[in-house]
Amino acid sequence: MKDNISTIFSSYNIRNITLKNRLAVAPLTRVSGNEDGTTGPLMKDYYQSFAQGGFGLIITEGIYTDKRYSQCYKFQTGLTDEKQVSSWKTITDAVHSSGGLIFAQLMHAGALSQYNKYRGRGGAPSAIKPLGEEMKLYYGKGDYEVPKEMSTEDIKCVVKGFVNAAILAKEAGFDGVEIHGANGYLLDQFLTVYSNKRTDEYGGELANRLRIYQEIITAVRAAVGSSMIIGVRFSQGKVNDTEYKWPKQTADAKYTFESISRCGVDYIHTTEYIAKAPAFKDSLPLAELAKEYGKVPVIANGGITHENEANCLIDAKQADIVSLGKAALANPNWPNVVQTQQQLKAFNAEMFNPIADLKTANAYFKQTL
């Protein structure tokens, strides 16, 4: 064990909860639930392993929020009924028994829906075919379909879905919820200029494109009260467009993070390809912009593999917490390995071949033993 404690191993408070360290597991799509949206048999051990491995916080894969247009992937889990709640309760209990905290990431697919057992076709801000192709790692095939343009009544149902899912997350034992506003999914589709061509109060200027975020956060807070943590995730790039940048750059970041902070979020989670890289030419990283303008705790994600990279982000005050994705998949015990100065394993994409589910990952690990 090291004599000097790294910054990442210091405790940190997000409002009314204390994380034992600054290390979080990032949301990672695993398509390992059951057809009815309940958690699959491999998921309890998967999430518990991160808590046992020393992570202070675990953020779940994206969980769909309603039985309308929100489901994105085949074998994705939901928080829409009591059966799904009960299945997640088994996981939250396991994480808590191993000393961890766990937040539910609440997600609506929008136009990027690859599978929906409830509606079939996706719904989105505008009837615009998404860029790129469906993701084969998550049972996708071919081009995305043109989604239905959501009516204002549909948008109200979206907000209601997030609220109901947050209430059920609290019932399921989650310590907080993260509103997924990133990576090209529904909320990000409202924020993105080329996927939102609306002419009503949800389209046009940035204030309108952020309206759905504000309505969801405000409604969720009113529903779950002050005791539950609420965060929101932002990115510029998307799963189907890694190059996108906010059009007014730092000015957009300033307005976005200030506006979201005023809604009462407890933290902002940013994800970029490289967390420490400038968000725009000659600008601060996106996480640091969130810290400067949001004035709330910030979780940074993107390309973080080693201890020094994580410490640098926090020591430079670019973030308060770091979340690990692929590095955590390769090393569910990353914090324990680093603290005991053992060798970290490199991520291997074979863990996702042919499907990025837990069955494939388990088979890979067995082959490498």
Task: Give yes or no: 139 in active site.
Answer: no
Say how far apart CA 176 and CA 215 lie, in whole Å: 18
Q: Omega of the bond prior to 354 within 30 degrees of 0, cis?
A: yes
* CB-CB contact of 80 with 116 (8 Å): no
Nearest 5°: CA angle at 47, between 42 and 53?
A: 125
Q: Which of 185, 213, 244, 267 is catalytic?
A: 185
Instruction: Outline where the chain has alpha helix (H).
Output: 43-52, 82-97, 152-171, 186-191, 206-209, 211-224, 250-262, 286-294, 307-315, 326-330, 334-339, 358-368
Question: DSSP for 66-115?
Answer: -SSS---STT--B-SSHHHHHHHHHHHHHHHHTT-EEEEEEE--GGG-S-
Question: DSSP for 33-65?
Answer: S-TTSPPPTTHHHHHHHHHHTT-SEEEEEEEE-
Active centre residues (catalytic): 185
